[in-house]
Amino acid sequence: MENLVDDIKTNIWKLRSNISKEQSKKLDLNKCERVVEKLDSFSTNCEECREHLVDLKKHFMGLEAKIDSIEQECKQHKQVIQGIVSHLQKKHKLVSEGFYLSLYMSIGMSLGVVFGLTIIDNFALGISFGMSMGIAIGAGLDADAKKKGNTI
Ligand SMILES: [Zn+2]
């Protein structure tokens, strides 16, 4: 798999140097690199990850050929990456960066609203309390997931 992974990384690197910063942001190339690394680490035990790597190689070679109309490729590109990301999330239990933060922030906010309206009778205080609790918990879980290498 080594060569394949190196090839894809070289493709991404070449692509990045040939398009504008905004375009590479649009294509989310940094995320693509992380995805490739994750696929690589699972590919010894997962047939589907190996297939995704093969597909990605073709995909990036295709993008390279269409560099002049790269904007039009964005949508399809995102679908390809999203498909792989959802495999990584479902099969390999990975989460996207900031996943827990946004999850717990919204839980904290709704609990804060209830708490604010009922127990302390102060909506603003309740919501800000709930939100900061949620952020604290979510950020902690995100950091933990990152440390364990479970983020994409
Ligand atoms: Zn897999």
Residues of the chain with pLDDT under 50: none
- pLDDT digits over 86-108, tens only? 999 999 999 988 999 999 999 99
* Ion ligand 1 nearby residues (CB, 5 A): 42, 46, 48-49, 91
For ligand 1, the distance from its centroid to the CA atom of residue 137, given in whole angstroms, is 29
Q: Which two three-digit tokens encode residue 15? A: 């692509």
- HSE on the CB side for 86, CA within 13 Å? 5
For ligand 1, the distance from its centroid to the CA atom of residue 85, given in whole angstroms, is 10
Inter-axis angle of helices 47-65 and 70-92, nearest 10: 170
Question: Where do the domains of the chain lie?
Answer: 2-92, 99-147
What pTM was computed for the model? 0.79
For ligand 1, the distance from its centroid to the CA atom of residue 88, given in whole angstroms, is 6
Spatial contact of 18 and 60, defined as CB atoms under 8 Å apart: no
For ligand 1, the distance from its centroid to the CA atom of residue 81, given in whole angstroms, is 14
pLDDT at 2: 67
pLDDT at 83: 96
For ligand 1, the distance from its centroid to the CA atom of residue 31, given in whole angstroms, is 17
Mean pLDDT of the chain, nearest integer: 93
